[in-house]
Structure 1
Amino acid sequence: MATLVLTTVGGLAGGPIGAALGGMLGQAVDRNVLFRPKGRHGPRLNDLAVQTSHYGQPIPRLFGRMRVAGHVIWATDLVERRERQGGGKGQPAMTRYAYSASVAVALSARAIRGVGRIWADGNLLRGAAGDWKVPVQFRLHLGSEDQAADPLIASAEGGENAPAHRGIAYAVFEDLPLEAFGNRIPSLTFEVIADDAPVPAATIAQALAPAVIASVPGDEAAMLPIDGFSAYGDSVRSVIETLAEVAGAWFVPIGDRVAMRGDPAPARMLAGGAGQRRIAPPARAPHAMTVSHYDPARDWQAGVQRAVRPGALGAAMSIDLAAALPAERARAVAETMLARTSSARATRRIVTDIAAVDVLPGSVVSLSGEPGAWRVRSVEIERFAVTIELVALPPPVVALPAASGRVLRQVDVPAGQTIVHVAELPAMMGEGAGPTIAVVAAGSTPHWRRAMIHHSIDDGASWTAAGATPAAGTIGTIVAAASAAPATLVDRRTVIEVSLAHDGMMLTSMDAAGLDRGGNLALVGDELLQFGSVEQVGACRWRLSDLWRGRFGTTPALLAPGDRFVILEREAMLRILPLTGAGGTVRVMARGVGDEQGVEAAVRLTGAASLPLAPVHLSADIREGALALRWRRRSRVDWWWRDHVDVPLGEEREAYEVTVTTAIASHIVVTAVPYVTVPLSALNGAPLRAAVRQIGSLGASSPATLTLGDDE
């Protein structure tokens, strides 16, 4: 402020009298030449919210902890990558295009301690624990005076052309995936940790203008802790005045410098003497004061606090503070500023003797015989008389409660490690006759979202992208052993107890109609089964009953503790066409944002999912010297008995191999119909064992068997 600075300079030249004269000159210069009040522009709230990239744009100096957008100071063009997916077993391949970019963002023209959370287009990109929500290569330069150039920028621009940006803290994203942001560089905001704790207002002012601002020991108002502050604007003066407004302070000369002061306690008493008293009309003072600020409780987004004078007639005033303050402190700032503007209606002009020549502008005095404190606004000395202009100071403001309002924070917890299972599955529920390799993945916490999947058929020598997993699956393990049961009956005896991966996974009961539509289908070990009733028996522990065993041609098995439990739902499965024949192994690698390395699973293809199902209802009848065998075929094409007559064949032709064996001979018959007659003379003995296999396009089914003794 010109008044204060020129007052100090005048004091150096002519002592107290010179200081007073300098103050008079400074006031005139301040009002009319250098710093017209309506012409100054300090930092505004929206200046920190929008990311910019302009030459000559000032970079703020950050103090405390702030959320800023920063300035893009370097970026590459979009990089296009092509990934070929599918194309096996005569199926068409799909080429997927992915885009990325590298970008550097300047954060602060002052060294910082680190960075907390990062948002991209308002969505959390990096959590408070340093965990990334999407895979990112990130480097942070803290802004030291000896920092080296970023290696990516140096590689792209050449070592001799790459600035190190010393003294500027900046962040570099390398190959940032842009798919989630519409294939464009998102608007990034950073929670910058410039200091480990809130910084006093006077300390910030002194850091900005060390040649002008002196320290203020013991002044509670000037030492008001500010959670975060962004120092930039048209001039240093505008920034320092903003700090003074936040702290409820003003400036006083100390030696050849000035200092912030906010202590209203009078340092000296003056005689009232002759003079004038003036009280401006009530309408001159605002009836309400609104303070906009950054609220730490709102993730450093803008907050508003308002103070009101009941019954007042003046206009409302508002001020933008580029400072981070809790709601209670911002309310106190609004109350203090409103009280100060109201009390400033009362001014005094007193004339006293030369004994008051050492009273300086900014001092706090009291008047004999009058209550209250007064701040010295100006001092004039003429003919050994000292004329002092005073403005009334308000009494201390009572702290009032304040709230930040409803805060809708984004969930910020680590995504957890990926859990992945892969299995060879038959066609299910009208999905055609061909088998698939199904990948189901989930995380160790409820906040896992997805993972990128690659597969290999050459034992990891090469990997092919298969895309991203869809929704997280429901995955767990068997806790207690369970016996096998026939697939032809509802198993009401067996109870399966499972432990799910985390408490966010849920299971629900389902009636028979829902099960018939394919609901509650699970892969347990290598068996497909469905369950009708569930009961939660503990954290992540569930008990399953009313079981439909051996679904879709799988064999009911003895279930052991530790066997996998995977719910099979279309929206949670990534399907891969078989890439190799029976006997081959498919390795799958999943990598989510919480995985430092890929998580692998493998399946050895047996080919069973491609073979016909074993015939059922095998029966035998011996009459007229011949053995007559009959059976029913099954089909993988459609698991419903829609017309109550027959099911689709699902093979190129219908064929069966019938083997009838005795103790001394075997007789094999191939037929195209589901029955056969074998003369007993060709069998030569008893007992008899009959085995029937359906011959499919890729092999034969497992046998349906029947044994006949001597008495049958």
Structure 2
Amino acid sequence: MATVILTVAGSLIGGPVGGAIGAMIGNSIDREVLFRPKGREGPRLTELRVQTSSYGTQIPKLFGTMRVAGSVIWATDLIEHRSKQSGGKGRPSVTNFSYTASFAVALSMRRILGVGRIWADGKLLRGAAGDFKTRCGFRLYLGGEDQQPDPLIAAAEGIAMTPAHRGLAYAVFEDLELADFGNRIPSLSFEVIADADALPAGRIAAELSAEMLMAPEATVLLAGFAASGASVRAAVETLAGAAGGWFRAEARALTLLSGAGVALPLSDAAVGDAQGGRGRRDIAAAEAAPRTLTLAYYEPARDYQAGVQRAVRPGAGMREARMELAAAIDATGARAMAEAALMRFDLERERRTLALPWRALGTRPGERVTIAGAPGTWRVDRWRLENMVVLLECVAVAPATPAGEASGGRVLPAPDLAIGDTAVHAFELPPLGALATVPQLAIAAGGTGPGWRNAAFLLSTEGESWVPAGASAMPAVLGQIVTPPGGAPAHLADRIHTILVELANGAMLLDDTDDAGLAAGGNLAMVGDELLQFAQAVPLGGRRWALRGLWRGRRATEPGIGSQVAGDRFVLLDAESLTMIDLPLQTIGGVARALAQGARDEEAAEAQAQIRGVALVPPAPVHLRARLLPDGTTEIRWVRRSRNGWDWIDGVDAPLGEETERYRILLTDPAGEISTIETSESRIALSAETRFATRAVGVRQIGAHGLSPSTILELPDPGEA
């Protein structure tokens, strides 16, 4: 009689559905799906982490929550943006280029619930709160059968050429700013939530097999699973191996079993060595089983990075086995899975062959049995019918073992910092470096959250007309005044007053400096309309700082001393955090407005500045004094200042900083009439008659681009002197 052999293997990942079960099950399960020649056993771990854009790339079906790279299915060319930045006097302006891109990424061939975090080149692009760290538009399609084509793709390709991708979950990025990624599309990975909770491996296998596989018993819970590979069979075998299970043949399906359960007893009378003693016991050498087993998996606690757990058994042997499971599991569960698998390898070295009468024909492959005289539970691994004798080859079922504690290693997650809202300030600055030839607007931007990175600028100097002005520099340290500094002279260190400021977020810091640091320009801040420096910064908690040891009215901003009120701006000046924008000369006397919009802002933040050309004109002269000379004339003297020299060097005049040295003198008489005189010296002599008719003297330095502010000396009435 011909021999009929049915096999249900029960090894780890790969093998449980092999053989020729089709003869028993019939055609209820597609041979081409479940029983084609065995290929790869599901996806390797690296395949879920590397983004692809090749035709024919397999898109997984996702279960639970998984981190996947996805496949780019549509993209535009990079869009170039230009912005100009001042290069300073005698140097050309600098043109900066930035790029954006729009593209779509396929995530899952199964409907999902949503997307959590998104990583770009390993850094968080989207945080757990749904906040994007870089500006972009984002739309998510969940893979429903009623979803419509994406409007951006339809606009680019035409509605007739744009599929709706029903049944496919995918994400669309619109104008993603690429400056943070070297002006290229970054490698993305997504935390995809396909199901609300962890799922049993058996339930996942049943869905993949279109319910041609049943899983009535509890199986291991997987936080996530990515089903892909050469066939449905590959994915189902992977899941069976994860559960430590095997399949039992049914009339029209397969049943996934695992662990000890209800078993069919085989009595002593049924077991024997009839037909030539074909009932036997075989035990393979210890070296036949692996001594070490390594399980690779994805660990949710480590941002779904690949984790490894290793199990080692005592005894002889040098073989090593490796399992790769494209599933999300915690470290303890992975350790228990590895140890259970290693135990199964060791137990399955022993095989029992039972010779039973033909009446035991109904004992199915995969059936649990107990064997008289042999402890524990066994399962039928191979079934043979020879000459009306049923031969059952059985292997032991590993008992459940308690899971021990395990560690996934040190966790180094990408920081997920809140971005908050954008704060922006705009103001003119006197020259801090090279002399300017056009008005310059300084823009400083930061955020109310420590994760704020940058913002896009729009500028208006002509009413409602706005033009792009590039992007912000590094985040600025900024905030507002809580307690103003009050009045003080600009020529003395202010050791009396204290400024209380509140910074925009708690990650912003201020530092102390000494006199040498102050002399070198350290700790320079725009406080209201006054530039000042501070020596000590004392943290008070709650984002508040007390600033002491003040140098006031720096760079000829002494008119701003004492003008501050609570709520005015505080900006720490740093070349790396300031965006300097050249303005046309005709903007002097007008107002410049700046809009700044960060990645999280629903509306742009606005700031404005009165343009007076302070970087173009010399500072007002100082130290005006009058002296009566023996000949009856009155000498008025002053000290000029320069846009190009702020160091205090004894015995050395500041550099001129202008093409010529000239002054305009304004003489005011008792009636308020003003007469004008020009001179090339920092002095003027008034005759006795002119002095008698003068009540005030104003001095303005004539610069290459305009007049300095006026410094006024009040003269007493000669009749009262």
Same topology, TM > 0.5? yes
Specify the code of the residue in structure 2 equivalent to 1:311.
Answer: G
Partner of 2:496: 493
1:456 aligned residue: 460
Partner of 2:380: 376
Match of 1:398 in 2: 402
Asked if residue 230 in structure 1 is aligned to residue 226 in structure 2, the reply is yes
The Cα of 1:511 is off from its aligned counterpart by: 1.2
Equivalent residues of 2:296, 2:308 under 8 A apart: yes
- 8 Å Cα contact 2:634/2:691 also seen in 1: no
- The one-letter amino acid paired with 2:686 is V
**Any gaps of 5 or more consecutive residues in structure 1?**
14-21
Which structure carries more relative contact order (alpha carbon 8 Å, separation 6+)? 2
Residues 111 and 12 (structure 1 numbering): CA distance in 2 closer, same or farther, change over 3 Å? closer
CA distance in 1, matches of 2:385, 2:240: 28
Q: Does 2:572 align with 1:567? A: yes
Matched with 1:19 is none
Q: Does structure 2 conserve the Cα–Cα contact (< 8 Å) formed by 1:246 and 1:333?
A: yes
For residue 575 of structure 1, report the CA deviation from its aligned partner: 1.0
Matching residue of 1:707: 715
| Matching residue of 1:418 | 422
Corresponding residue number in structure 2 for 1:538:
541
Amino acid at match of 2:101: A
Structure 1 residues 160 and 631: CA distance shift in structure 2, 3 A: closer
Report the 3-state secondary structure (helix = DSSP H, G, I; strand = E; otherwise coil) of the residue aligned with 2:239.
helix
CA contact (8 A) 2:6 2:384 kept: no
Structure 2 counterpart of 1:388, one-letter code: L
Three-state SS of the structure 2 residue aligned to 1:645 is coil
Question: Aligned ranges for residues 182-193 of structure 1 at < 5 Å?
Answer: 182-193=182-193
User: Is the 8 Å Cα contact of residues 667 and 683 (structure 1) preserved in structure 2?
Assistant: no
- Once the two structures are overlaid, the 10-residue window that deviates more, 547-556 or 144-153, is 144-153
Counterparts of residues 305-344 of structure 1 (less than 5 Å): 305-344=309-348
Partners of 1:8 and 1:255 within 8 A in 2: no
- Identify if the C-alpha distance between structure 1 residues 278 and 590 changes in structure 2 by more than 3 Å, giving closer, same or farther: same
- What is the match of residue 583 of structure 2? 578
Question: Which residue in 1 is equivalent to 2:604?
Answer: 598
Question: Hey, what's the Cα distance between the residues in 2 that align with 1:144 and 1:283?
Answer: 52
Q: Give the match for residue 13 of structure 2.
A: none
Structure 1 residues 647-686: aligned runs within 5 Å: 647-659=654-666, 663=670, 669-684=677-692
- For residues 36 and 670 of structure 1, do their structure 2 counterparts lie closer, same or farther at Cα, with a shift above 3 Å needed? closer
Following superposition, the deviation at residue 418 of structure 1 comes to 0.8
**1:339: how far off?**
0.4
User: Which residue is equivalent to 1:16?
Assistant: none
Tell me how far apart the structure 2 counterparts of residues 176 and 132 of structure 1 sit (CA, whole Å). Answer: 10
Aligned residue identity for 1:674: S
Q: 2:617 aligns with which of 611, 620, 629?
A: 611
Provide the rounded CA distance (Å) in 1 between the counterparts of 2:40 and 2:96: 53
Aligned-partner Cα distance in 2 for 1:89–1:646: 22
**1:377–1:390: 8 Å Cα contact kept in structure 2?**
yes
Separation in 2, partners of 1:86, 1:615: 28
* Residue among 291, 296, 299 paired with 2:295: 291
CA contact (8 A) 2:7 2:381 kept: no
Contact 1:693 1:704 survives alignment (8 Å): no
**Aligned with 1:510 (options 510, 513, 519):** 513
The superposition leaves residues 9-51 of structure 1 with CA deviations (integer Å, 9 ceiling, x where unpaired) of 66679xxxxxxxx9xxx9xx99xx96666x5443221222222
Residue 129 of structure 1, CA deviation: 1.9
1:610, 1:75 → 2: CA distance? 47
Partner Cα distance (1:630, 1:151) in 2 = 73
Aligned with 1:553 (options 550, 553, 556)? 556
Alpha-carbon distance, 1:124 to partner: 2.1
Q: 1 CA distance for matches of 2:696 and 2:53?
A: 84
Q: How does 1:164-313 map to 2 (within 5 A)?
A: 164-210=164-210, 212-216=212-216, 219-220=217-218, 222=219, 224-272=220-268, 273-274=271-272, 275-313=279-317
Which of 361, 365, 373 is 1:361 aligned to? 365
Q: Once the 2 structures are TM-superposed, how far is the Cα of residue 642 of structure 1 from its aligned partner?
A: 4.3
Q: In structure 2, do the counterparts of structure 1 residues 429 and 135 end up closer, same or farther at CA, with 3 Å as the change threshold?
A: closer
Amino acid at match of 2:654: V
Write the distance in 2 (CA, Å) between the matches of 1:502 and 1:669.
53
**Corresponding residue for residue 12 of structure 2:** none
Per mean C-alpha deviation after superposition, the further-off stretch among 53-62 and 280-289 is: 53-62
Which region of structure 1 is more displaced relative to structure 2, 265-274 or 120-129?
265-274
1:667 Cα shift? 6.9
2:451 corresponds to: 447
1:108 aligns with 2:108: yes
Q: Where do 1:522-537 residues align within 5 Å?
A: 522-537=525-540
Amino acid at match of 1:505: M
The match for 2:14 is none
Shift in CA distance, 610/601, structure 1 to aligned 2, threshold 3 Å: same
Which residue number corresponds to residue 275 of structure 2? none
Aligned to 2:487: 484
Q: Cα offset for 1:99?
A: 3.6
TM-score, normalised via structure 1 length = 0.90
Q: CA deviation at 1:97?
A: 4.0
Q: 1:571 aligns to what SS in structure 2?
A: coil
Bigger mean CA deviation after superposition, 174-183 or 361-370: 174-183
Taking the aligned partners of 2:624 and 2:510, their CA distance within structure 1 comes to 38
Structure 1 letter corresponding to 2:605: V
How many residue pairs were aligned?
690
Identity, % of aligned positions = 45
Alignment check: 8 A CA contact 1:266 1:366 kept: no
Deviates more, 1:654-663 or 1:272-281: 654-663
**Change in CA separation of 1:58 and 1:509 when aligned onto 2, cut-off 3 Å:** closer
CA contact (8 A) 1:482 1:496 kept: yes
Deviates more, 1:349-358 or 1:161-170: 349-358
Shift of residue 309, structure 1, vs aligned partner: 0.6
Answer yes or no: is the 8 Å Cα contact 1:613–1:701 preserved in 2: yes
CA spacing shift, 1:136–1:432, aligned 2, 3 Å: closer
- 1:588–1:87: structure 2 CA closer, same or farther, 3 Å change rule? farther
1:49 aligns with 2:24: no
- Secondary structure at the residue paired with 1:681? helix
> 1:669 offset after TM fit, Å?
4.1
Tell me the distance in 1 between the aligned counterparts of 2:328 and 2:469.
46
C-alpha displacement of 1:700: 4.2
Q: Name the amino acid aligned to 1:599.
A: A
**1:286 and 1:35, CA in 2 relative to 1: closer, same or farther beyond 3 A?**
farther
Residues 9 and 684 of structure 1: CA distance in aligned 2, closer, same or farther (over 3 Å): closer
Contact 1:656 1:673 (8 Å CA) reproduced: yes
Given that residues 618 and 705 in structure 1 are in contact (C-alpha distance below 8 angstroms), is that contact kept between their aligned partners in structure 2?
yes
Deviation (angstroms), 1:618: 2.5
How far apart in 2 are the matches of 1:173 and 1:535?
44
Tell me how far apart the structure 2 counterparts of residues 652 and 2 of structure 1 sit (CA, whole Å). 102
Provide the C-alpha distance between the structure 1 equivalents of 2:684 and 2:182, rounded to a whole number of angstroms: 65
**Alpha-carbon distance in 2 for matches of 1:73, 1:506:** 44
Letter in 1 for 2:608: A
Q: 2: distance between equivalents of 1:572 and 1:662?
A: 49
265-274 vs 485-494, which moves further: 265-274
Conserved 8 A contact 1:482-1:558: no
Q: Which residue, out of 468, 472, 479, partners 2:471?
A: 468
Is the 8 Å Cα contact of residues 226 and 324 (structure 1) preserved in structure 2?
Answer: yes
- CA deviation after TM superposition for structure 1 residue 659, in Å: 4.7
Find 1:588's aligned residue among 585, 591, 594. Answer: 594
Q: CA separation of 1:657/1:180 partners in 2, compared to 1, >3 Å: closer, same or farther?
A: closer
Alpha-carbon spacing, 1:98–1:551, altered in 2? closer, same or farther (3 Å)? closer
Q: Which moved more, 1:507-516 or 1:599-608?
A: 599-608
Measured in 2, the distance between the counterparts of 1:150 and 1:635 equals: 60
> Which 5+ residue runs of structure 2 have no aligned equivalent?
9-16, 273-278
Letter in 2 for 1:625: G
| SS of corresponding position for 1:160 | helix
User: How far apart are the structure 2 equivalents of 1:558 and 1:655?
Assistant: 31
Relative to 1, partners in 2 of residues 1:519 and 1:96: Cα closer, same or farther, differing over 3 Å?
A: closer
Paired position in structure 2 for 1:630: 637
CA shift digits 1:109-160 (9 cap, x unpaired): 1111122222223222222222112122222222222322222333333333
Change (3 A) 1:84 1:480: closer
